[in-house]
Structure 1
Amino acid sequence: MTQLIVRSLGEQPYLETWEAMKALTASRDDAVADEIWCLEHPRVYTQGQAGKAEHILAPGSIPVIQVDRGGQVTYHGPGQLVIYLMLDLQRLKLGVRTLVNEIEQAIVRVLAGAGITAAPRPDAPGVYVSGAKIASLGLRVRRGCSFHGLALNIAMDMEPFRRINPCGFVDMPMCQVSDFVTGATVADFSGKLAQELVAGLGHDQVEFLSGW
């Protein structure tokens, strides 16, 4: 039996959340349930392992944190839905590429349900609406287990994206759900996207919790 715990965590500081992800991944064995965390972060830039300093243009007072996920620099802030996936890929018999596809298609389905036509791009992970990026992906796999995950822009201050080259792309246009859906909130989409992710992963037993 493969068990999954889905946690709704509200707003959480980035560093502490990252440390908790790493601790869970480092300590887990075959008996530990997979977990999905749904949350928001205060304003922060995160720079992936392949990140180049020149893509951080003018961070100002927003902290920049070097992290161990794939990809380049991105921005997190209130009004953005962040979902982290701590999954035993070996147990689920999932390859990384398949997991990325599952995440992207779950986002596409949720956006379609809100009347937004979106799609992934073969040359750049994430989900796009008419060429503008609405969701970013960044994963790390250690000991056959994934952590980090996705960020879906819902209703946030988009200005900080203009201070970086998002995901290493110069002049990458960014968008968010509220550009297309009036009154969209993180709460509206958190449960829906979690359910779509659950549907694509194939766990036998799923538990939904609020908090740690």
Structure 2
Amino acid sequence: MAEPVAGRPAPQAPAPDAGAPVAAPRACLVRDLGRQPYEPVWRAMQRFTDARDGASLDELWLVEHEPVFTLGQAGRSEHVLMPGDIPVLHVDRGGQVTYHGPGQIVAYPLLDLRRMRLGVREYVHRIEQAVIDTLLEWNIVGVRREGAPGVYVAGAKVAALGIRVRQGRSFHGLAFNIAMDLEPFARINPCGYAGLQVTSMLDLGGPSGMDAVKPVLLDELARQFGLALEHAPPPDLADPRPTPSRAP
């Protein structure tokens, strides 16, 4: 049985000048998968997106991945410098190469953007804003960078975005560095940029664990997208034919 997410007051949609209109808060299931290898979660996202229809509830998956480098559809192998013992996967999101590993919150918003009347650019903008507002809870000032999606603090990247939209429905999403070993980023050109500096919330004076950040990030994502969040069990990653939930 899904349970409401505790936290701050019920989310409100952003003001009209923030972008395209979003409907009144609608139910969205939050599923925390814990620590998982990358590929089973990726395949489950694909199957969920393929199986959903116009009446399916949106979902928001949170996961901490085992160490992996992922190359997006435009990814070039020369940006993977010295992977060592960390596997490299070619995946169907946008963007170049990034690293996922313990101590990083990965959020996968599985949203019906068509139903929300949101374009891809506005969708990306709102995810970035959710991260920026989360950082502000710890008095950390994050900014966008023109032409390079993500969130940066003093020139160093703290959150990366890589998304895919299929038939108006989003998958893949956000990688937010909380308290992690950043050494693997030195083995790649992060997001295709040689010499790009990477940081984490811990290095910026933020919390040392993800449990402090998760509820704040969830609240901010809910505010940006007008969602009423409800906790639900993790998905069955082995289910070959998932049945997306529907509103009662």
TM norm. shorter chain > 0.5: yes
| Aligned position for 1:52 | 76
Q: Give the % identical residues.
A: 51
- From 76, 99, 102, give the equivalent of 1:75: 99
| Deviation by residue 1:140-191 (Cα, 9 ceiling, x = unmatched) | 0001100000001011111000000000000000000001226421111112
**Secondary structure in structure 1 of the residue aligned to 2:213:** helix
Distance (Å, rounded) in 1 between the aligned partners of 2:45 and 2:89: 15
Q: Which has the higher helix share?
A: 1
1:61 shift after superposition: 0.6
Q: Whole-Å Cα distance in 2 between the matches of residues 71 and 173 of structure 1?
A: 17
- Letter of the 1:21 counterpart: M
Report if aligned partners of 2:97, 2:188 keep a CA contact under 8 Å in 1. yes
Q: Which residue of 1 aligns with 2:29?
A: 5
Which of structures 1 and 2 has the bigger CA Rg?
2
AA of the residue aligned to 1:153: N
Unaligned 5+ segments in structure 1 are none
Are residues 1:63 and 2:87 paired?
yes
Match of 2:124 in 1: 100
Residue 29 of structure 1 corresponds to which residue in structure 2?
Answer: 53
Moved beyond 3 Å, runs of 4+ = none
Distance in 2 between the 1:119 and 1:210 partners? Answer: 34
Task: Output the CA distance in 2 between the equivalents of 1:172 and 1:210.
Answer: 37
Among 8, 19, 25, which residue is 2:43 paired with? 19
Aligned to 1:191: 215
Q: Are 2:231 and 1:208 equivalent residues in the alignment?
A: yes
Written as runs of structure 1 = structure 2, the 5 A alignment for 1:21-170 is 21-170=45-194
Please give the secondary structure, in 1, of the residue aligned with 2:179.
coil
Secondary structure of the 1:50 match is coil
Partner SS for 2:202: helix
SS of 1:125's partner is coil
> Could you tell me whether the CA contact under 8 Å between 2:144 and 2:152 is conserved in 1?
yes
Structure 2 unmatched runs, 5+: 1-23, 236-248
Offset of 1:136 from its aligned partner? 0.1
Amino acid at match of 2:181: D
Q: Give the aligned residue type for 2:168.
A: G
> Aligned to 1:177, what secondary structure does the other structure show?
coil
What is the letter of the counterpart of residue 163 of structure 2? Answer: L
Q: CA RMSD in A?
A: 1.2
